[in-house]
Amino acid sequence: MSQKASTAKPPASRKKPAAAGKKAAAKKAPARPPASKETRVLIKEKIAQSGIDLLKKEFEVDVRLDMNQSQLKKEIGKYNAIIIRSATRMTADIIEAAKNLCIIGRAGIGVDNIDVRAATKKGIIVANAPQSNIVAAAEHTLGLLLAQSRNIPQAHGSLKAGLWERSRFGGVELADKVLGVIGFGRIGVLVAQRAKGLKMKVVAYDPFVSQSRFEDLGVTGVSDVDDLYKVADFITVHLPKSPETHGFLDEAAFRKMKQGVRIINCARGGIINEEALARALESGKVAGAALDVFEKEPALDNPLLDFDNVVATPHLGASTLEAQDRAGTIIAEQVAAALKGQFVSNAINIAAVSPEDLNVMAPYLPLCEKLGRLIVEIADGPLEQFDIKFQGALAEHDTRILTVAVFKGALEGRVEDTVNYVNAEWIAEERGLKVTESRSRQAVDFTNLITVMSEDRRGQLRVGGTTIGPKHKPRFVQIYRHDIDIEPARYMAFFRYDDVPGMIGKVGTILGANNINIANMNVGRKKRRGKAVMGVTLDVPIPENVIEEIRSQPEFDDVTFITFP
């Protein structure tokens, strides 16, 4: 069994007359627009026509490549989704003006031109196309590696200028040289594999990659980047741009490298301290550099371009026809999924889940949302802590997204903001809600069981659920402190009462007299003549006056009516 704890914040208030669930549902802001031709998508930068065509089948699409930042700010409020590349800046003020925006789609990998925090706070999904250009970026890295080792661009320029300078442009071989790869994600792995094909020795540094992963790929992994600096003849960086990686290769790093090392950067501008690199080139510590990205772009006046031993390209890492087509199509698929309320697999501001784990988790997301809503609806007063337990095969997987789903269900309709998988955790954290997760491989009565526990004024609360059959139909199997078995429905009511004869009849009689039909019903109790709980699903909502009529019966402890989204 594993366990972790985190903090978040409870909704400012919980219902407790029983009809509050109904009222909350009525005031709830929609988490997304209905998918239809009235749903508007803005394509702000060029993407593949296949992506545009995919979106036009279901939504109204405007392609506005001429729109500047000022116009974007004025018009963004009309759109439910926007697709951009690297030129458009989605700043906090533009995001604030985006009253109806559901998703920002970045046709490419980097999202440093998007204020992700502002988008997350507002519940806007930020998605990219992380695998669209990995082959292109890896191949460009190898191209720059070869270009600088053999002085290909310089020799080409000399020859075009009418000179034949064979002795001037002698190079170095790659075979048996050591390539240091800093950052061993998807692109770093592809570069390593291709470099090994050139008979290079590869040393890699990435603190988030296991030693067994390095070994599986035939790469020497180091736990300290200094060990890489000591042995590498060439160094290529494949890090994301972040405060932690800005200036990663700095003056101190260059001092630790081998004399005559060569540097490649096809990742992000700013990872290399450009002033420090210039000094290292001047001193001869660095024999050459190949750069596709720069701190400030366009880099037309960058001093590094004045060095003869610097090979440079204008941010071409993803610029292949295949990569551009893939990026446009992938991001169009992600945008369509968001607008239709489906899970967005490439969202970078939703808890990261591997494709394998997501395949297992996805059928349980609706159930977890309902469990989160159910426990706050039946609670007598505010809840300050959730204890979430995953039992069965689920316990072997990354369940963070299921915890987010519980947050979403618990908070939806109880806070001013629209709540979705992007901001549910953030909103919960802002309100100080405490949550503990635990996992156990054993589940006595079910293949998988998810239990959410808390305490209200009356003591411990517990709601539990599972799914049944190949279609994973959700079932509530625990409520309050009782076992039960009932399929969730849009309109549900739960009754706690003394376990005496005639209670089922009383509920049925009052509902029937008010023309309210019971679709399904189940009862749970711990012991005879003790306390019992009844759950019913209904065709229509129960009016407040009918709830009060049932609650006024002396045998009833509580009555809760819930409308599920």
DSSP string, 391-432: EEGGGGS--HHHHHHHHHHHHTTTSSS---TTTHHHHHHHTE
Most confident of 53-57, 211-215, 479-483, 526-530: 53-57
Residue 173, SS3? coil
496 inside domain: yes
285 inside domain: yes
Between 289 and 207, the higher pLDDT residue: 289
Beta-carbon contacts of residue 260 (< 8 Å; ≥ 6 apart): 233, 284, 285, 286, 287
Q: Give the per-residue pLDDT at 431.
A: 75
One domain, residues 299 and 425: no
28 inside domain: no
One domain, residues 555 and 481: yes
21 inside domain: no
Between 333 and 430, the higher pLDDT residue: 333
**CA triple 191-195-196, angle to 5 deg:** 120
Give the structural domain span for 48. Answer: 33-131+323-340
Phi and psi (nearest 5°) for 68? -90, 180
Using the predicted structure, report yes or no on whether residue 531 has a pLDDT greater than 80. Answer: yes
pLDDT band of 292, cuts 50, 70, 90? very high
Q: Which residue has the tokens 């409870």?
A: 10
Has 140 been annotated as catalytic? no
One domain, residues 428 and 533: yes
Using the predicted structure, report yes or no on whether residue 202 has a pLDDT greater than 50. Answer: yes
One domain, residues 145 and 108: no
One domain, residues 142 and 125: no
273 inside domain: yes
One domain, residues 436 and 297: no
252 inside domain: yes
Point out the catalytic residue in the list 268, 326, 373, 431: 268
52 inside domain: yes
CATH number at residue 117: 3.40.50.720
For the segment 50-59, the average pLDDT, to the nearest whole number, is 95
367 vs 564: CA distance, rounded Å = 11
One domain, residues 285 and 372: no
94 inside domain: yes
For the segment 420-447, the average pLDDT, to the nearest whole number, is 82
Residue 508, SS3? helix
Using the predicted structure, report yes or no on whether residue 36 has a pLDDT greater than 70. Answer: no
One domain, residues 245 and 291: yes
pLDDT band of 443, cuts 50, 70, 90? confident
Q: Give the per-residue pLDDT at 28.
A: 33
One domain, residues 208 and 258: yes
Q: Give the per-residue pLDDT at 294.
A: 97
Using the predicted structure, report yes or no on whether residue 19 has a pLDDT greater than 60. Answer: no
One domain, residues 85 and 164: no
- With CA atoms as reference, report the closest residue to 262 among 137, 174, 134: 174
Point out the catalytic residue in the list 262, 315, 397, 496: 315
What b/e readout covers 60-93, taking b as 16+ CB neighbours within 10 angstroms? ebebeeebeeeebbeebeebbbbbbbbebebbee
pLDDT band of 32, cuts 50, 70, 90? very low
431 vs 9: CA distance, rounded Å = 3
Counted domains in the chain: 3
Q: Give the per-residue pLDDT at 418.
A: 66
Q: Give the per-residue pLDDT at 4.
A: 37
Between 413 and 293, the higher pLDDT residue: 293
Point out the catalytic residue in the list 173, 297, 396, 548: 297
Using the predicted structure, report yes or no on whether residue 1 has a pLDDT greater than 50. Answer: no
Beta-carbon contacts of residue 257 (< 8 Å; ≥ 6 apart): 229, 230, 232, 235, 285, 286
358 vs 321: CA distance, rounded Å = 30
Q: Give the per-residue pLDDT at 319.
A: 85
| Interval 263-287: pLDDT, tens | 999 999 999 999 999 999 999 999 9
Q: Give the per-residue pLDDT at 424.
A: 81
One domain, residues 180 and 308: yes
- Its pTM stands at 0.57
The mean of the pLDDT values for the chain is 88
Has 315 been annotated as catalytic? yes
One domain, residues 472 and 382: yes
